[in-house]
Amino acid sequence: MAQADSRNEVAERIGYITRVQSFSACHRLHSPTLSDEVNKRIFGKCNNPNGHGHNYKVEVTVRGKIDRHTGMVMNITDLKQHIEEVIMIPLDHKNLDKDVPYFANVVSTTENVAVYIWDNMVKQLPANLLYEVKIHETDKNIVVYRGE
């Protein structure tokens, strides 16, 4: 229950909004700092030279004050537009390693995809609003990044 302030008005309430977005991409787990042999040992089938694909599902969560006038933490229409620019345009139907310059020397693990999305989303959103980026690489493999 939110506390009443000295003027008997309801204090700020904090809300969380999550927008879900799917995208498809292919990649290969291969570290340029490791030998071919070690890459193969560590990444196994995911080191296949011709790559493999995923239907990723990303959950972007923002956290903030519920504005008294608009009733919103932020307009989901705006969040949708940021997701289009940060996730869909650069990543959807792409080869992550070859089409996205960030991954030229960064292994395209789901952890690093989450960092990529966080770092670009945080630049677009108002300060302190982004709370979490969660990626389902498969139904079984889920990564969370909170900017730490």
Ligand X SMILES: Nc1nc2c(c(=O)[nH]1)N=C([C@H](O)[C@H](O)COP(=O)(O)OP(=O)(O)OP(=O)(O)O)CN2
Residues annotated catalytic, as ranges: 46, 93, 137
What is the rounded distance in angstroms from the CA atom of residue 144 to the CA atom of residue 117?
Answer: 11
C-beta of 67 vs 119, nearer to ligand X: 119
What is the rounded distance in angstroms from the CA atom of residue 135 to the CA atom of residue 148?
Answer: 16
Q: Of residues 35, 49, 50, 140, which one binds ligand X by CB under 6 A?
A: 140
Q: Which residues contact 43 (CB under 8 A, 6 or more apart)?
A: 29, 30
Q: Of residues 92, 111, 119, 132, which one binds ligand X by CB under 6 A?
A: 111
Residue 141 as a binder of ligand X (CB under 6 A): the answer is yes
Burial 24-57 (b: 16+ CB within 10 A, else e): ebbbbbbeeeeeeeebbeebeebbeeebeebebb
C-beta of 61 vs 108, nearer to ligand X: 108
Residue 48 as a binder of ligand X (CB under 6 A): the answer is no
Structure tokens at 47: 């080191």
Residue 109 as a binder of ligand X (CB under 6 A): the answer is yes
Annotated binding site for Zn(2+): 27, 52, 54
Binding positions for ligand X, rule: CB under 6 A: 29, 46, 52, 109-111, 137-138, 140-141
